[in-house]
Amino acid sequence: MSVDISNYVVKINGTTLDPQPKFDGGLIWSSQDIMADGTGRAEDGNMILLYVGRKRKLQFKFPFMSAAKAKAILDLINSLTFSVTYYDPEDGAVATRTFYKGDRQVDWYSYTTTSPYKELSFNVIEV
């Protein structure tokens, strides 16, 4: 099955991102299994897995953007938690989940252009 994710838009709290993270590496999806304390190798060498759950992480990158567009996107993730609607490859469908923000980063390009930021990047982690 071929999926053209350019047909799906990413939204935060119902607001469509402008621009969309469509360039190579603009949106990276990952999934992490969460294990409880006590998970690890026992003295006999056997692995003890105390599975708690699975959480998703989305990494966003936006190239060459204006300060106003960067601020608008950063404002969308300013609250403690927020909803993100996106195409989830594990679900094989559009999903809406609650996330919190990780580190945010802006790489400067120039102080004298209309697009002073070389890249805005941040990640969000499922609650």
Give the N- to C-terminal CA distance of the chain in Å, as an integer: 30
pLDDT tens profile 54-63: 999 999 999 9
Give me the pLDDT at residue 90, please: 95
Query: What's the pTM value of the predicted model, to 2 decimals?
Result: 0.86
pLDDT tens profile 74-127: 999 999 999 999 999 999 999 999 999 999 999 888 767 777 888 999 999 999
User: In whole angstroms, what is the distance from residue 101 CA to residue 91 CA?
Assistant: 22
Where is 7: in which H helix or E strand? none
User: In whole angstroms, what is the distance from residue 111 CA to residue 108 CA?
Assistant: 8
